[in-house]
Amino acid sequence: MAFTHTNKVRYVYTAGGVSESKEFSVAETSDAEINISEAHTLIAPVTGGSRHQWDVPGFEFATKSSAKSVYIRLDGTNGGLSANGDFDTGTEMVSLKAGVPYVWSSDGGSNHPVGATNPMVDATLKLTVKPDSYDETNNPLNVVDNIATLTVRVLYDPTP
C-alpha cells in the first residue's frame, strides 16, 4: 500500500497594506511511513539553567537516503533533536523553534522548500530531544501545562 505525503508551503508577505501570497506544493509517494507524537513533562530549572533532555524510544530509521518527506515539530519549548543519544555523542538533526515545523521533501533531489535538507540520520535507533536553556523571555516554559510535544512524520522507501 502506497502512502502520499504533501508538503505545502505558503508564503504571505504584507507591506504597505498589500499582501503578496504564493503557495508551493510537493507530493511524495512511497511504501512506508513513521508517525509519532510524544508528549513529555518539562522540568523547570532556575533562569539560565538547562532543561533535561529526554529520549523517544521506538523510532528506528535505517538509511537517510530512503527518506522522501519529513515533518518535525516541537511544541511547548525551543530545542534540538538528535539521533541516537545525547548531544555530545549523538548527531543533531535539526534545531527547532516552539511550534514552528521543519519540513523537507526530496522533490526529485532538488529539495523542497528551497534551502531545506534531509535531516534524517543513518542507523537511528532513537530520537533525543534537548530543550534550549530556560529563559523567561526567549524560551519560557509552556505556561499552560509544562508539556513539550514532539511530532515526527517520515515518508520513506522501505526497500534496502
Kindly tell me the burial class for residue 17, based on how many C-beta atoms sit within 10 Å of its own C-beta (0-12, 13-18, 19 or more): exposed
Cut 0.75: pTM above it: yes
Query: Which parts of the chain have pLDDT scores under 70?
Result: 43-51, 86, 133-145
Q: What is the pLDDT of residue 124?
A: 93
Q: What is the pLDDT of residue 147?
A: 82
Whether residue 127 contacts residue 92, with contact meaning beta carbons closer than 8 Å, is answered with no
Whole-number Cα distances in Å, 125 to 3, 18, 52, 90: 23, 48, 20, 11
Tell me the pLDDT tens digit for each residue of 133-148.
655 555 555 544 578 8
Tell me the pLDDT tens digit for each residue of 6-24.
999 999 999 999 999 999 9
Q: What is the pLDDT of residue 51?
A: 62
Q: What is the pLDDT of residue 96?
A: 95
Longest dimension (CA), the chain: 53
Q: What is the pLDDT of residue 132?
A: 79
Domains and CATH numbers, the chain: 30-156 (2.60.120)
